[in-house]
Structure 1
């Protein structure tokens, strides 16, 4: 018997079965798995999905780890996936499914703020805000049917990778060699991502901070460009002027007005402000 897992909203343009592409139409029965660590939310979504005759719930899961195992074995057409789970969040589940090559259509049910929603809109096919309505769910199911009726293709993988990059969860192995050019007493040096603790914007110049020193980056290097270049690594935009390496986060503490203070793991124990709009993404990236 399959276990239960958390539910969240967001959709991806992948599926695990060939039957839709062979028929040229959505399958009569859409094999679905629901993942949510909160039983009331899980039960509510199952109830709403029961209103759609072609949705067949083949399993549920209550943790991220169970979700990966169950989805890999059951190979469903569709997964409703929660993001905030205690052991492994929805983004991490999605990453593992992409690595395993077992990627069904994924719908994230989310209570994220507007900043996070923009990331979904840019990089995913669909998402649902909690609490969800039957009408909104119906629109999502229509999109699922439409996608399952299309022949298979690579439509969307890049967008999902972009989403995972925004939360620092894309595998760096596929990115290749990446170096950040900087200046050191008149010399040009090339810094590796794993030696940079964080970047800061000072006097319209980006500084790369390592355990040894702070190095000015080239004049053409904006923080946005550096963030894009390091999209496959564990870097996270904490605020408008600072980009941090999640591997060097020592601790985080609530501050005021919904903001947090992040303390970096090095001798100076630098404190960095985490914007209120980024708190949920930060926690999701760390699997908290």
Structure 2
């Protein structure tokens, strides 16, 4: 995307706002433009700043999150709504307001990554137009040098203890950069988490085979080994690659 995604956080608990703000700031494609401590204030700030996404708590005094969501969906330019709450029982009602996701506190960082991926995908390609990729190369430090890798050449990335290993079409690399950090930096390219330790380039996916306990095995072009797809990630993977 050419510009950052504008985020508004609406939550009556300061610590919850701070936690979510801290997590979201690790994504270079996001910009947390403001925060609000009530549903009423959230609507006013949405009118003022026109955020792309509103992370909205459910249980708030006076106007709760569901009431605020109803008003937000009626705006001329309604934002994407992501509910963020400690109460799972409101999930079904939340999707009546076309919420993109329903995150539970304390936040699961893997689930948050999947949510951000869906947000980026929707805002990059709102009407089926061709997605414009961010230009640039992935910079990694290896043996005291800065190496630059074309994202399109990366087949997959995986974590091996405290080292991240990158398998590309030309060679393999090792870096101390965390898998989560690499995932955030590759977010606007065609990468998807398939396991807590694996990140793959969707352009190299060739075949998906059922395995056991709801898991799958993934075959990639240019790669002899098969990768395991956790059942926690299979739904998101298929939604990213299938038409």
Distance 1:123 1:142, change over 3 A: closer
Larger Rg: 1
Question: TM-score scaled to structure 1, two decimals?
Answer: 0.44
Distance 1:240 1:145, change over 3 A: closer
The alignment status of 1:235 with 2:235, answered yes or no, reads: no
Per-residue deviation, 1:228: 0.8
Per-residue deviation, 1:141: 8.5
Per-residue deviation, 1:204: 1.3
Separation in structure 2 between the aligned mates of residue 169 and residue 179 of structure 1, nearest angstrom: 20
Equivalent residue for 2:213, pick from 257, 263, 267: 257
Q: Of Structure 1 and Structure 2, which has the larger fraction of its residues in strand? A: 2
The alignment status of 1:286 with 2:241, answered yes or no, reads: yes
Per-residue deviation, 1:261: 0.2
Q: Higher relative CO (CA 8 A, sep ≥ 6), structure 1 or 2? A: 1
1:162-221 deviation per Cα after TM superposition (whole angstroms, max 9, x unaligned): 8462588364636342423243x764320011010000111310011112221012x2x1
Does the 8 Å contact 1:200/1:242 carry over to 2?
yes
Equivalent residue for 1:169, pick from 121, 130, 133: 121
Aligned ranges for residues 1-288 of structure 1 at < 5 Å? 145-148=70-73, 150=75, 152=76, 155-156=79-80, 163=115, 165-166=117-118, 169=121, 171=124, 173=132, 175-183=134-142, 187-217=145-175, 219=176, 221-266=177-222, 268-287=223-242
* SS in structure 1 of the partner of residue 156 of structure 2: strand
Separation in structure 1 between the aligned mates of residue 157 and residue 204 of structure 2, nearest angstrom: 12
- Farther off after superposition, 158-167 or 245-254: 158-167
Does the 8 Å contact 1:199/1:208 carry over to 2?
yes
- 5+ unaligned residues in a row in structure 2: which ranges? 1-6, 8-52, 58-63, 83-98, 101-112, 125-130
Per-residue deviation, 1:143: 5.3
- Farther off after superposition, 171-180 or 190-199: 171-180
* SS in structure 2 of the partner of residue 276 of structure 1: coil
Separation in structure 1 between the aligned mates of residue 78 and residue 70 of structure 2, nearest angstrom: 17
Distance 1:142 1:249, change over 3 A: same
Distance 1:123 1:155, change over 3 A: closer
Per-residue deviation, 1:247: 0.5
* SS in structure 1 of the partner of residue 238 of structure 2: helix
Distance 1:284 1:167, change over 3 A: farther
* Aligned length in residues: 151
How much is the aligned-residue C-alpha RMSD, in angstroms? 3.8
1:82-113 deviation per Cα after TM superposition (whole angstroms, max 9, x unaligned): xxxxxxxxxxxxxxxxxxxxxxxxxxxxxxxx
Distance 1:247 1:286, change over 3 A: same
Per-residue deviation, 1:250: 1.2
